[in-house]
Chain A
């Protein structure tokens, strides 16, 4: 099992460009999450999904959109990238149930110039 994978691993964008980050999991997990991690701030939840076709806002959703068309995939979109979105993005998944362990992907390092 590959677990949680993320594509791409690195990306450099110019301000105003758009891009989509792809997250895939092969553990048949219901829940999927997108986080960003910035120095000194820990991980912050951007959006999450509790099942195929559903999404919800997290702590810092502005400037991002998500889609979960298939259970195993969770896409994070940046429509018009800004330098403030320079960060490391982690995707995670977990099974149903309160307090379930979250399994993380290896992260995507995004720089917006």
Chain B
């Protein structure tokens, strides 16, 4: 089993739609979780951290489900500019907080 797994997609949705991605992780003791966004042929950029209580930033909501070992990202009212690849990132090495694992990414295309 991969340490961090994502559905690669692609997810093709119309503008205004709500879309959700999940990401599963293998180490039940992992403590740090993030969503990064990567545009085509660009570098990844932090979208949001994922906290135990869940967190929201505008149209984006991130949640953590420790029992089932997954994190989720919900995007409401999708915009054309949301088209990108969304990377799930998890700290899997509990002795080293810098050792992060990236999922392969979920590609989202928002269409007019």
B102 at the interface (CB under 8 A from A): yes
Interface code A92-113, partner B: CB below 8 Å = 1, 0 otherwise?
A: 0010001101101111000000
Interface residue stretch chosen among A14-22, A42-50, A62-70, A72-80: A42-50
Task: Give the distance in Å from the alpha carbon of A6 to the alpha carbon of B44 in the complex.
Answer: 14
**Please, which residues of chain B bring their CB within 8 A of the CB of A48?**
98-99
Contact indicator A45/B99 (Cβ below 8 Å): yes
**Please, which residues of chain B bring their CB within 8 A of the CB of A50?**
98
Task: Give the distance in Å from the alpha carbon of A30 to the alpha carbon of B31 in the complex.
Answer: 21
Contact indicator B102/A42 (Cβ below 8 Å): yes
A31 at the interface (CB under 8 A from B): yes
Contact indicator A102/B46 (Cβ below 8 Å): yes
A33-B98, A98-B31 given as contacts; is B105 within 8 A of A42 (CB)?
A: yes
B45 at the interface (CB under 8 A from A): yes
* Size band of the interface chain A makes with B: 20 to 34
If A56-B96, A90-B44, A99-B91 are given as contacts, then 6 extra A-B residue pairs at C-beta distance below 8 Å, sorted by A number, are A35-B102, A42-B102, A42-B104, A43-B87, A45-B100, A104-B45
What residue of chain A has the Cβ atom nearest to residue B4's Cβ? A42
Contact indicator B97/A43 (Cβ below 8 Å): no
A-B contact count (CB 8 A): 54
Contact pick for B103, options A42, A56, A98, CB 8 Å = A42
**Please, which residues of chain A bring their CB within 8 A of the CB of B103?**
42
CB of B5, distance to nearest CB on chain A (Å): 10
**Please, which residues of chain B bring their CB within 8 A of the CB of A41?**
104
Task: Give the distance in Å from the alpha carbon of A1 to the alpha carbon of B86 in the complex.
Answer: 26
Interface code B90-111, partner A: CB below 8 Å = 1, 0 otherwise?
A: 0100001111111111000000
CB of A25, distance to nearest CB on chain B (Å): 13
Task: Give the distance in Å from the alpha carbon of A105 to the alpha carbon of B43 in the complex.
Answer: 6
Task: Give the distance in Å from the alpha carbon of A36 to the alpha carbon of B91 in the complex.
Answer: 17
